[in-house]
Amino acid sequence: MISYSGYFSQLLEIVVALASAPLLTGWVNVCRAWLQNKSAPSILMPYRTLHKLFNKDSILANDASPLFRMVPYIVFGCMTLACSIIPTLSTDLPLSPAADTIALVGLLALARVFISLAAMDIGTAFGSMGARREMFVGFMAEPALLMVMFSSSLITQSTSLTGIVENLVHRELAIYPNLAFAGVAFTMVSFAENARIPVDNPATHLELTMIHEALILEYSGRHLALIEWAASMKLFAYSCIGIALFFPWGIAQASNPLALILSIPILTLKLGIGGALLALIEMFSAKMRIFRVPEFLATAFLLAVIGMLVHFLLGA
Amino acid sequence: MADLISLDFILLVIAGWLFLGCCGLFVIKRTGFVTQFLFPLGAVLGVILGIIGLVSSFDSPQYAVLPLGLPNLPFHLRLDALSSYFLLVLGLVSTGVSIFSAGYFKSSGGSTPGLLCFEYHLCLASMALILISDDAYVFMLAWETMSLTATLLVMTNSRSAEARRAGFLYLLISHVGALALLLCFGLLQANTGDYTFSNMRHQNLDLMWASIAFFLALFGFGAKAGILPLHIWLPEAHPAAPSPISALLSAFVLKTGIYGVLRVTFDLLHIQVWWWGVATLALGLATALFGVVLSTVQTDMKRLLAYSSVENIGLMFVGIGLTILFRAYHMDVLSALSLTATLYHVAGHGAFKSLLFLGTGAVMHATGERSLAHLGGLMRYMPRTAWVILLGALAAAGLPPLSGFVAEWLLLQSFLFTPELPNSFLNMLIPIVAAVIALVGALAGYVMVKFFGIIFLGQPHEAKLYYASDADHWELFGFSWLVLACLLLGLLPVQMVSLLGQVTHLLVGHNISSTIAHNGWLMLAPVSEARASYMPITFVLMLAACCTLAYLLVRRLYHGRFKRSAPWGCGYPFLNARMQDTAEGFGQPIREIFGVFFRMTRELPTAFDKAPHYKVEIEDPFWGLIYRPIAAITERVARIVGMLQQGRISVYLLYSFMTLMILLMVVTR
């Protein structure tokens, strides 16, 4: 049933995700430096950091259990699988029926649970605080993300991401009010989930407000490299989910294999714009107190639910 | 007679369990014989029961009449797909629990092992009898036997006041529930005087009486299952009982309530009305949210799991409510889908919750501690238990690819297909309900990270934990059985759903397994592949491949060197175990957000305290809202009635005389 072109596009997607995720992180950093009138680091900086970290010895705490050493690989595996399920380049993916949006959210939650458990493993104050905060952000962001995806499923009558993309591309251009709500909610969730500025600050260490950095404080060497790589793949995955749900035009389909060639520059363009916007929003917002985060996330959650309600109200 | 063979085998298993229980009475103090011989034999019978349940799911209903009991009141028995499925779950769960008990009861206080063995096997036998009973008389007989034996099992450790109190509370609530059930069966037989279920199936009650019967059943069975506000006995009984008993309570005794609701609503009643569905849905939703929120703030590990059971029961009631709703509008595919989700959750929850409760048993054996505040770091001392419990916790958190996720997936799918409901008000309700379900699922993840992280990870909070020893071989065997169940339920949903197809066919007249079988044995796609699909085996293989490849490539391209050193302590050299997060600390954000859900008393130290003291107490608000007022009223009434009782024989004679006078006046008039 599935043609070789399907396997090819699947493989291409995984390679593109693995290779270009650090580039996206680099691009966001460059944009932010420009906006802040600083001299920008090279866009390839994340690759150099990863290479440096991979070469270093890993230092494990005395009491670290095997779970602690396994988690970087599990998290990395989860993010790779997530990137291969999301239709970034093509909808002709043999892996796509394996997991729909609910399973995708479950996969991201699996990664979150594992990294939180690893943070609690050593038993330092920072680690367990980070784990608690990560789960705390997660328990509100996860249902909000699910509701955002359901908003699209209601329009397209499908919970499979490829199904959503194929359906949305073939519709005539129309503005769906519920997608507008979902879009705002999705942006807020992505900021929270990727540890970006209003919720967490990726540029600082050792503040009492940190979340992501507190989680991975005990990791070093190749383990840290894998986790950092997985974090940039998470950003890539979220950006691609956003593209698939709200700007799906340009993603190749099974009927037209040549579009696959065109889809790479289109994706680059979209991610470039998205990364610049991300840096811009980060520039204009201030870091929130951790106690304000629930309000932020509850707003996102409610917006997503209102989006679904609007769908029923307007009978779209 | 060949048809009857499965039912006969089930009766043999029940008789076998009764026999084992009675054997226990004869060797009442011989711990070795009871634990090493009788409990494993009980487990073998459990396996047999499970196999019979599996085989007979595909048969047509079988009937039998046993000339037992009172004259003219024989036992009517019936084995259909619904009972077969629940028997399968009972067999599955009881096997794991029985094997574990063989190790657990070797050394524990309380009742003598023989007595325990008697109560335990009697409880199992009565539950099996509930599932095959086909008249109200034998049903109530088995139901009461189950309640009584379960109470005795909860009170195993009868020297502690906590256990006695919990046992009393459980007995009280199950009897209030049983009263409602009696009334419900009384309505269902519609003045014919014939209490067999086959008679009830043929009665056409009008809407009002059917509604009253339905809500009586919801109340009566809900008391057993633990819906709001009747859940109050769960967090008391589970911590007080020995762990295998808590496992059995949570994994199956609660499910008999679900079985009862399904039996009455879809089998005995001939109509289903949409607002019954809405009421059940709302009740289930409230139960689920309340349960999970209370579960996040608990500091006792078994109480935490008890509230998590409340949450799961709530989700099952949500599924039942949805099924009724769809059934009322004759949307057969959707009602079959949501019923499948509910039934899937019954088995999934049975497997992972018994695993988790047994895990707490192993921890208590090793450390003697139940409070999360004193545990920690056990992964180093009990690695095998820790890995097993990690799997159980992931399943309980509803994460793919384990058993909890499939049920949640099916439930959410049935919500997403809802928009075709003819009632626009209901259509608006659906997204809100789906949002709450998603929130409950995410909070369950929070609970499980807290549960596993505080017990097994970090530094031990007390010195005695350094000497904790891992579970023994019986206990590990019991664990492995249930882990296997969790994995199979997670990885083979298609096979499981086709089994459930028989049950949905019986109850709501539709079988979704043919659509699913159409897509092959790997892919779970309840309606069509384009709409939604999930392939757990592919999913898990790809995940494993990604992780392994990453590992191998890192080793190949770079290196695998590491050094050990002390954790980083911000330059502070005196790190100790008291600096890590406690169970209370982990629940703190939830306490802040969901403050309205519970009653909290807190004592904070001031800066000038000589001996600073911090205390937080969290109480279930339903004690204050419902139970204490009822208790106060009962006490006041009792005091008024008590005034009659003077304790002097002359006064009592006066009462008798006056009663006689009044009666005579009534008669002669």
CB-closest option in B379, B409, B446 to A65: B379
Taking an 8 Å cut-off on Cβ atoms, the answer to whether B592 and A61 are in contact is: no
Closest CA to B450 of A106, A113, A293, A69: A113
The beta-carbon neighbor of B431 closest among A107, A157, A309 is A309
Q: Evaluate if pTM is beyond 0.90.
A: yes
Residue A313: list chain B partners with CB under 8 A. 428
Check B439 against A67: CB less than 8 A apart: no
B535 and A98 within 8 Å at the Cβ level: the answer is yes
Give the chain A residue nearest B523 (alpha carbons).
A98
Q: Does residue B190 surpass a pLDDT of 90?
A: no
Please enumerate in sequence order all residues whose Cβ is within 8 A of that of B114, keeping only pairs 6 or more positions apart, or say none.
Answer: B24, B25, B26, B27, B28, B29, B30, B34
A76-88, pLDDT tens digit by residue? 999 999 999 999 8
Chain A, nearest residue to B411 by Cα: A102
Residue B530 touches chain A, beta carbons under 8 Å: yes
For residue A30, give how far its alpha carbon lies from the nearest alpha carbon of chain B (Å).
Answer: 28
Examine the predicted complex and report whether its ipTM is higher than 0.90. Answer: yes
Best CA proximity match to A86, nearest among A115, A109, A112, A107: A107
In 3D space, the residue among B1, B5, B10, B83 whose CA is nearest the CA of residue B46 turns out to be: B10
pLDDT of B461: 85
Residue B620: beta bridge partners? none
What is the DSSP annotation of B457-469? SS--SSGGGGG--
d(CA A116, CA B442): 14
- Answer whether residue B669 shows pLDDT above 90: no
> A222 to chain B: which residues are within 8 Å by CB?
554, 558-559
- pLDDT reported for residue A262: 87
Decide if B73 touches A, using CB distance below 8 A.
no
List the single residue in A128, A147, A305 with the smallest CB-CB distance to B458: A128
Nearest-CA distance B563 → chain A (Å)? 5
pLDDT classification of B109: cutoffs 50, 70, 90: low
A37–chain B nearest CA distance, Å: 32
pLDDT digits 0-9 by tens, A199-223: 888 777 666 678 888 888 889 999 9
Could you tell me which chain B residue has the CA closest to the CA of A304? B435
Q: What is the pLDDT of residue B160?
A: 86
CB contact under 8 A, A312 and B427: yes
Q: Which residues of A touch B435 (CB under 8 A)?
A: 143, 147, 301, 304-305, 308
Residues 6+ apart with CB under 8 A from B325: B274, B277, B278, B281, B335, B421, B426
CB-nearest partner of A121 from B445, B457, B575: B457
Question: Within 13 Å and on the Cβ side, how many CA atoms surround B591?
Answer: 19
- Rounded Cα gap, residues A246 and B85, in angstroms: 44
Cβ of A109 and B577 within 8 Å? no
- Predicted confidence at residue B1, as pLDDT, reads 41
Residue ranges with strand state E in chain A: 58-61
Render pLDDT for B1-54 as a digit per residue (tens, 0 to 9): 445 578 889 999 999 999 999 998 888 778 888 888 899 999 999 999 999 999
Task: Spell out which residues of chain A touch residue B449, defining contact as CB-CB under 8 Å.
Answer: 113, 116-117, 120, 131, 135
Q: Which pLDDT score, from 0 to 100, does residue A207 have?
A: 62
CB count in 10 Å sphere of residue B464? 13
In the predicted structure, residue B156 carries a pLDDT above the cut 90: no
Among B150, B160, B114, B296, CA closest to B223: B150
Q: Which residues of A touch B445 (CB under 8 A)?
A: 109, 112-113, 135, 138-139, 142
Interface of B with A in 552-571 (CB under 8 A): 554, 557-559, 561-570
Which of A67, A226, A309 minimises the CB distance to B379? Answer: A67
Q: What was the pLDDT predicted at B419?
A: 60
Averaged over B219-244, what is the pLDDT?
Answer: 92
User: pLDDT at position B599, please?
Assistant: 82
Instruction: Give pLDDT tens digits for B558-613.
Output: 988 889 988 887 778 777 888 888 888 888 888 888 888 888 888 888 888 888 88
Assess contact for B170 and B150: CB atoms under 8 A: yes
In the prediction, which pLDDT does B465 show? 84
Q: Determine the residue among A2, A11, A60, A100 to mutate to test chain B binding: the one whose Cβ has the most chain B Cβ atoms within 10 Å.
A: A100
B282 burial (CB, 10 Å; 0-12 / 13-18 / 19+) is middle
Strand (E) positions, A7-69? 58-61
Mutate to test the interface with A, among B408, B415, B449 (most CBs of A within 10 A): B449
**Cross-chain residue pair B449–A221, CB shorter than 8 Å:** no
Please indicate whether, in this complex, the C-beta atoms of B531 and A77 are within 8 angstroms of each other.
Answer: no
The two three-digit tokens of residue A172, written as one number: 């005539």
Give tens-digit pLDDT for B428-483: 788 888 899 999 999 999 999 999 999 999 888 888 888 888 888 889 999 999 99
What pLDDT was estimated at residue B575?
Answer: 78
Give B532's contacts in chain A (Cβ within 8 Å): 100, 102, 158-160
Interchain contact B399–A (C-beta under 8 A): yes
| Cβ pair B416:A116 closer than 8 A | no
Cβ-contact B438, A302 below 8 angstroms: no
- Percentage of chain A modeled with pLDDT above 90: 53
In this prediction, residues B404-420 reach a mean pLDDT of: 84
> Cα–Cα distance between B132 and B138 in angstroms, integer?
9
Tens digits of residue pLDDT in A219-260: 999 999 999 999 999 999 999 999 999 988 888 887 676 788
Q: What does the mean pLDDT of chain B come to?
A: 89
The predicted structure's pLDDT at residue B108: 63
CA distance A54 to chain B (A): 7
Confidence of residue A1 (pLDDT cuts 50, 70, 90): very low
For the ranges A111-115, A162-166, B232-236, which has the lowest average pLDDT? A162-166
Question: Could you give the CA distance from residue B293 to residue A30 in angstroms, rounded to a whole number?
Answer: 42
List the one residue out of B82, B79, B49 whose CA is nearest residue B63: B79
- Rounded mean pLDDT, B58-67: 86
pLDDT in tens, B641-660: 888 887 788 888 998 999 99
Selection from B76, B2, B86 nearest residue B506 by Cα: B86
pLDDT-derived band of residue B110, with 50, 70 and 90 as boundaries? Answer: low
Whether residues B443 and A98 touch (CB distance < 8 A) is answered with no
Say yes or no: B527 contacts chain A, CB-CB below 8 A: no
Instruction: Tell me the HSE value of A267 on the side-chain side, using a 13 A CA sphere.
Output: 26
Amino acid in position B165: R
Number of Cβ within a 10 Å radius of residue A208: 8
A153 neighbourhood in chain B, CB within 8 Å: 416
Is the Cβ pair A124, B575 closer than 8 Å? yes
Chain A residues near residue B458 by CB distance under 8 angstroms: 120-123, 128
Q: Which residues of B touch A113 (CB under 8 A)?
A: 394, 397, 399, 445, 448-449
- Substitution target from A47, A51, A63 for chain B, most B beta carbons within 10 A: A63
Q: pLDDT grade, residue A73 (50/70/90)?
A: very high
Task: Search chain A and give the residue with CA nearest B451.
Answer: A117
